[in-house]
Amino acid sequence: MQNALDRLTHLLGKLPGLGPRSARRVVLHLLKKKESLFLPLIEAMHDTAAMVKTCSHCGNLSVMDPCEICTDARRDGAVLCVVEDVADLWALERSHVFRGRYHVLGGTLSALDGIRPEDLRLASLLQRVACENVQEVILALGATLEGQTTAHYIAEKLQAEGIAITRLAHGLPVGGELDYMDDGTLKAAFQARK
Ligand SMILES: [Zn+2]
């Protein structure tokens, strides 16, 4: 069996933003802070892995299914914001710019990576629009080629529904993802949607 220390370092090195060198630094830091950080972190990771699931309605991650956003009666069910990933939903929630509901696609269409409509949460989106009295769909997808292709595809599919289909105002960084935008920029892009 692999040395426990090497195994932990190897696994941490697979995390986004961490390479082998920073993984070693993290491991050392954790070992030095065993009681105050390492053990609580293990517990938090264990609980999160055991309890957090994907909302079967919108695709959000939550300990509840349906999630707290889907079940919150104060949110405006007539406006549905379509995002690529849960990180985008979290970014929008942090900015407090939106009080409707979400639909997480789980990716974008991509001929290059072989991601087809049936690989995304698209059928359930169309079904929600048809059944939930949705008046506006906001396509809050990235300014990447894939994001725009996906937005175009959805807009076409929803054309016959007779609802407003809006997109975030441009000025989004090209190839930028929502999660990397600061709250002020996000708010402005959201409010100036068209
Ligand atoms: Zn939900």
Which of 62-76, 88-102, 172-186 shows the lowest per-residue confidence on average (mean pLDDT)? 172-186
Q: pLDDT averaged over the chain? A: 89
Percent of all residues in the chain with a pLDDT value above 90, rounded to a whole number: 68
Ligand 1 centroid – CA 107 distance (Å): 17
pTM higher than 0.85 for the full model? no
Residue 155 Cα, ligand 1 centroid: separation in angstroms? 22
What's the CA-to-centroid distance between 62 and ligand 1, angstroms?
Answer: 8
What's the 81 CA to ligand 1 centre distance in angstroms? Answer: 12
According to the 3-state scheme, what is the secondary structure of the chain? CCCHHHHHHHHHCCCCCCCHHHHHHHHHHHHHCHHHHHHHHHHHHHHHHHHCEECCCCCCEECCCCCHHHHCCCCEEEEEEEECCHHHHHHHHHHCCCCEEEEECCCCCECCCCECHHHCCCHHHHHHHHHCCCCEEEECCCCCHHHHHHHHHHHHHHHHHCCEEEECCCCCCCCCCHHHCCHHHHHHHHHCCC
Quote the ligand 1 centre to 18 CA distance (angstroms): 30
- pLDDT reading at 171 higher than 50: no
pLDDT digits (tens, 9 = 90+) for 138-169: 999 888 888 889 999 999 999 988 899 998 87
Which is more confidently placed, 158 or 172?
Answer: 158
Q: Do residues 78 and 131 make contact, with C-beta atoms less than 8 angstroms apart?
A: no
The pLDDT of residue 177 is: 62
